[in-house]
Amino acid sequence: MKAIVDCNSFYCSCERLFRPDLQNKPIVVLSNNDGCIISRSDEARKLGVGMAGPYFQARHIIEQNDISVFSSNYHLYGDMSRRVMDTLRTLAPEVEVYSVDEAFLDLSELPVEELAAYARHIRNRVEQWTGISVSVGVAPTKTLAKLANLQAKKDKKATGCVKVLLTQEEQRIALQQTRVDNIWGVGRSYAGKLINWGITSAWELSNMPEEWAHTNMGGVTGVRLIRELRGTPAIAMEDELVNKRMIATTRMFGRPVTALYELKEAVATYISRAAEKLRRQQSAAKVVSVFIVSKEQDHLADFKRGATISNYTTLDRASSLTHELIKPAIELVEQLFENGKEYKKAGVMLSGLVPDSSVQGNLFVPASQNQHRHLMHAIDNINFSMRDDAVKFGSSGMSKNWKMRQELRSARHSTRWEELKEIK
């Protein structure tokens, strides 16, 4: 049996954890640059606040109903996610972290009659140890477990945020009550096609032949989905990816950027952050990619994707040294920049990763130049302990007026000594 543990309105739950006065009150959390609503409490949803819509469109509802608003606080959310996942690892022999607020658990070793009680135990333990409320869905397959979790969330009072689908009858009812566009693994494109073909529920989809799924739903992927809906495990638990195959850092700007030097500062800053992540997993990168996104000329299109232009360069040898990665990235910015245009976003990506230990020193340079790894290690330690880029490269800029807006961000209670919650 598989379980999926999903944090309820995770970002909102993290904010409420340090603001108990907001329990049972409507709150929303905004995306990067305070642009869109990416998390809302049940109370906010019932008041008519839409999900993923622009903040300015919902402002009148928010102000009329005194809804609390927060900018994204990823330091806090990342730390609370780690605490939730660490708690889950004490409750199951195998845990697959699926996203920042979801994880699959393997409960195959438990007797069937104990599953419901243990699911409630998981929910209570996570909330007791971390303060974050979760919903738990249990079923024979990962796809059915996602369906069970969806039902657990629909009526939290009735289900107690726990739903277990053991019998074929329970699974049939859940499948009949689930639309195809709510099935895990069915994207918007496939959902539209299925509805056009007259397949509107998960139950109807589960009764389609595997040969049909192979032809119409992506080959083996579609066959696995059909089997999972029928209760036959076809998607295995995956090991946690310890080392990433590529590392990216992207951010929206706090205002439109028109100057080349500001784009250079932003890209140098992003490269520095990506290089830290690179060294953390003891890797080096062979390829450096940069992209910039221009601002739409139509002011009504601020929330639409602008034109993205990108380029990359391949290094002579893989590197994890920040200054060796900044130089080619800056050169790429100079190639991509167009004078007179406004830019709203930039990003960098490091790929072609290899183990840093496999990169040889250069025999044709002074020995001191082969010791830069020690310098990077010292800078990383200082920045980790002091925070907020205490030591940085001058190319990253000083004032950084282009930085992303986070005007409503709460304190980073669990990751900054100077921002610890004070209790009076």
Task: Give CA–CA dist 289/348, Å, rounded.
Answer: 6
CATH fold group of domain 79-229: Alpha-Beta Plaits (3.30.70)
Best CA proximity match to 266, nearest among 326, 339, 346: 346
Fill in the amino acid letter for 157: K
Residue 19's CB: how many other CB atoms inside 10 A?
16
**CATH 3.40.1170.60: which residues of the chain?**
3-75
* Secondary-structure class of domain 3-75 per CATH: alpha beta
Return the CATH fold of 247-396.
Dna Ligase; domain 1 (3.30.1490)
Tell me where in the chain the CATH 3.30.70 domain(s) lie. Answer: 79-229
Residue 315 CA, distance from chain mean position: 29
Which residues of the chain form CATH 3.30.1490.100? 247-396
Amino acid at 6: D
* Mean pLDDT per 10-residue section of the chain, whose length is 424 residues: 95 93 93 88 92 89 94 92 96 93 94 94 96 95 96 90 94 94 90 92 94 91 94 87 84 89 94 93 94 72 66 93 94 93 93 87 69 84 80 85 82 84 78
pLDDT score, position 67: 94
C-alpha span between 32 and 406 (Å, rounded): 8
Cα distances (Å, whole numbers) of residue 23 to 9, 68, 110, 161: 13, 11, 34, 17
Contacts of 297 (CB under 8 A, 6+ apart): none
Task: Output the pLDDT for position 145.
Answer: 96
The pLDDT assigned to 387 comes to 72
Separation in Å, CA 349 to CA 32, 160, 341, 366, 391: 19, 43, 23, 30, 22
pLDDT at 149: 96
CB distance 393 to 400 below 8 Å: no
